[in-house]
Amino acid sequence: DIQVTQSPSALSAFVGDRVTITCRASQDISNYVAWYQQKPGKVPMLLILGASMLQSGVPSRFSGSGSGTQFTLTISSLQPEDVASYYCQNYHSAPLTFGQGTRLEIK
């Protein structure tokens, strides 16, 4: 099985800051990575697919990069509505696996 390790587990930043979350896969998964945002009490929402493709309707301050084993989700200018947990997901092969999640808060 492909393990996915996400860091940090929690993050606090100021409005307007650039925020970066990292996901590392235990083996080469090409660009088969998705990122999700889950606001408190809500359903996870797909943000990015194919490591870097923004899902329709997602604000352009979100971006993804990486390939192989190292992936990054970046928020270029943090907004109050971005308070949420973020998860990466491997879909190179079953079992589908998620990172442990990153809880993002505003300072």
Judged by CB under 8 A, which of 34, 75, 78, 84 binds another protein? 34
DSSP string, the chain: ---EEEE-SEEEE-TT--EEEEEEESS--TT-EEEEEE-TTS--EEEEETTTEEPTT--TTEEEEEETTEEEEEESS--GGG-EEEEEEE-SSSSPEE---EEEEE-
- Of residues 87-106, which lie at the interface with another protein (CB under 8 A)? 87, 89, 91, 94-101
The 53-72 contact track toward another protein, x by CB under 8 A, reads: --x-----------------
The reply to whether 44 sits near another protein by the rule CB under 8 A is yes
Least separation, in Å, of the C-beta of 77 and another protein?
A: 25
Nearer to another protein, 63 or 101 (CB): 101
Nearer to another protein, 9 or 77 (CB): 9
From CA 42, how far away is CA 34, in angstroms rounded? Answer: 18
The backbone torsions φ and ψ at residue 98, rounded to the nearest 5 degrees and listed phi first, read: -110, 150
Chain positions contacting another protein, by CB under 8 A: 1, 32, 34, 36, 43-46, 49, 55, 87, 89, 91, 94-101
